[in-house]
A and B are shown apart, each in its own frame.
Chain A
Amino acid sequence: MAKKILCIDDSPTIRMLVRKTLEPVGYQVDDADDGSTGLTKIQSAVFDMIIVDVNMPIMNGFDFVTAAKKNPNFAKTPIVFLTTESSAQKKELGKSLGVSGWMVKPFNPDDLLNIVKMLVG
């Protein structure tokens, strides 16, 4: 059965690029345009991995991760930040929240595929 990935980013272009990178190799991709919509999605479906941006309107990535980790269904789901942020402090914050990885934009499709394969197979 295909692994299901959720991509949360306020940029439609980024969501499209993630989808076009992962779907051709067999992953099933769903998306949301901000943290709040992402929370709604994870309450109604199970995902094997979540890729999330940091800077988003309504609910940013850090708030999303904090809320998602409270959901017992997603306590152990790998979450990776895909963001323009690259400061050490933000990375430490992400690590403290329990994210599994940090990718800086612009991402290379091969790097994204490798990280997804490593985390979900």
Chain B
Amino acid sequence: MHIFRLIVTTFLGLSLALLSLILFMNLGIGIFSMLSLVPLVFFVVLQIIPAKTVSSTPPPELSPQEPTILETPKNPSMEPLVPETQTIGRCYDILEEPLALLENLFPVLESLSSIVSKKIETSAQSLGQEVFKLSDSAQILNEEIDKTLKNFTTGEHSLSGAVLNLQQKMVLMDSLFKVFEKLKSGFNQSLSSLKKTSSTIHDFSENISDLADQTNILAINASIEAARVGSAGKGFAVIANQVQILSKQSKSLAEKMAVLVKDVVQTTEKSFENNNLSISEAIKQISTGKNDMGDLVQSLGPKVEQVQESVYASHRMVDTVSKGLKEITVTLQFQDITKQILDHVISILSEIRRTILESPQNNLDLEKIQGEPFKTKAHELASQFFTVEDEWTTVNVDPQHLKNKKYPEKSVELF
């Protein structure tokens, strides 16, 4: 009796476990975890309580002439009042209907288990494929970013290279700036020197002019003395006259030279002034250009660093994706474990079914148990729980004709 109760309660408990798996498909892992505990508790309680009930509850008062199947001896080791084979046989009679239901539900449970396994497998496979596709895309994107930004940040034609080039050009501009400054200074010195020389030449020409005047006066005096002497002084008078002419020419030349030198100095001064203006303008532009370049170099520097940081961030992203992928790989394998557990549940149910059907005390009419009335009743019992289309296929019902009753025409409705 105790063994028989053990078999039946185990069978019921595991059936509930499987049905809770069906609910899991709709309601999620949390409810599944809760519900899968229910049959376990049910199973444990039914094992413990009957044993305690036997020891603590006093047996009913019975007339010796009226033996009853439900009589429980005070001490389990006592001999039963009714022969055991008859008791078990009568138990089978009473349990014919529930056993028939279980017998007809077993293939339904087997089919449901198979559906759950396949759906989980399909789902895991699909998810796995999408995840790996995303990972491959991320890897390709990272390689492209790396390639592009690497060219941008390293090498001769990179941004970093351009900044370095600019810095080198700034040094050259600095040198050029100094050259122009030196040139301007040189021009000023040359102009100063020229002015000094011009002044000296002017002084010389004035001296020559004075000398010419004095020579002229001397020549005039010589002419006067030659005239006083008479005919003996004629030659001297001619010479004096020539000297007079020469002194006048010398003076004229000296004056012309002074004017000429003055013109040259003025022209040169003007030219130097123009050059100085141009040099000053060039120096100003070089200075402005140098400052602008300096600003550009300063602003580019942080931008290059930002680009470099982006490259590093891209590498970190790939590492994170790779790590996440490993964890997903482990998680996806749980569908295989779930399938194994479902297979074990079905195997246990199958073994219990076999034990019941092959029991020597079994007086079950198999043809009746496996026949249509019980089969129909079992399918009706199972159908009460069905909400998913696939479930109906296990009882050979086309869910389409149930659509009006069970399934709304639209998957979303507003009220």
A binding-site residues for B, Cβ under 8 Å: 11-14, 16-17, 20-21, 55, 84, 105-110
Contact = CB atoms under 8 A, between A and B. Distances in A.
A17 B135 CA distance: 13
Contacts of B343: 55
Contacts of B336: 11, 13-14, 84, 105-106
B326 A13 contact: no
Contact of B125 (A16, A55, A84): A16
Interface in B325-340: 325-326, 329-337, 339-340
Contact of B337 (A16, A84, A108, A110): A84
A109 B329 contact: yes
B48 to A, nearest CB: 29
Given A13-B128, A17-B128, A17-B329, A106 B121 contact: no
Given A11-B121, A13-B121, A55-B340, A106 B334 contact: yes
19 contacts: A11-B121, A11-B335, A12-B121, A13-B121, A13-B124, A13-B333, A13-B336, A14-B333, A17-B128, A21-B329, A84-B337, A105-B333, A105-B336, A106-B337, A107-B330, A108-B330, A109-B325, A109-B326, A109-B329
A86 to B, nearest CB: 11
Contacts of A55: 340, 343
Interface in B114-152: 121, 124-125, 128-129, 132
Given A13-B124, A20-B132, 8 more contacts: A11-B339, A13-B333, A13-B336, A16-B125, A16-B129, A84-B336, A84-B337, A110-B326
Contacts, number: 54
Interface residues of B, number: 20
Contacts of A12: 121, 125
Given A12-B121, A55-B340, A84-B340, A17 B326 contact: no
Interface in B317-366: 325-326, 329-337, 339-340, 343
A16 B333 CA distance: 11
Interface of B: 121, 124-125, 128-129, 132, 325-326, 329-337, 339-340, 343
A2 to B, nearest CB: 19
Residue of A13, A20, A84 ringed by the most chain B CB atoms within 10 A: A13
A103 B411 CA distance: 44
Nearest to A9: B336
A58 B339 CA distance: 17
A84 B334 CA distance: 10
A14 B124 CA distance: 10
B333 A106 contact: yes
User: Which of B121, B336, B337, B340 has the largest count of A CB atoms less than 10 A from its CB?
Assistant: B336
A90 B85 CA distance: 40
A17 B326 CA distance: 10
B332 A17 contact: yes
B1 to A, nearest CB: 34
A81 B405 CA distance: 50
A20 B136 CA distance: 10
Contact of A106 (B128, B132, B330): B330
Contacts of B335: 11, 13
A108 B340 contact: no
Contacts of A108: 326, 329-330
Contacts of A21: 329
B398 to A, nearest CB: 29
Instruction: Pick the 4 closest A-B CB pairs, nearest first.
Output: A106-B333, A106-B330, A13-B124, A13-B125
A107 B129 CA distance: 18
A106 B129 contact: no
A23 to B, nearest CB: 10
A107 B337 CA distance: 12
A102 to B, nearest CB: 16
Contacts of B125: 12-13, 16
B320 to A, nearest CB: 15
Nearest to A21: B329
A20 B133 CA distance: 10
Contacts of B337: 84, 105-106
Nearest to B126: A13
Nearest to A112: B329
Given A55-B340, A105-B336, A16 B128 contact: yes
Contacts of B124: 13
A98 to B, nearest CB: 25
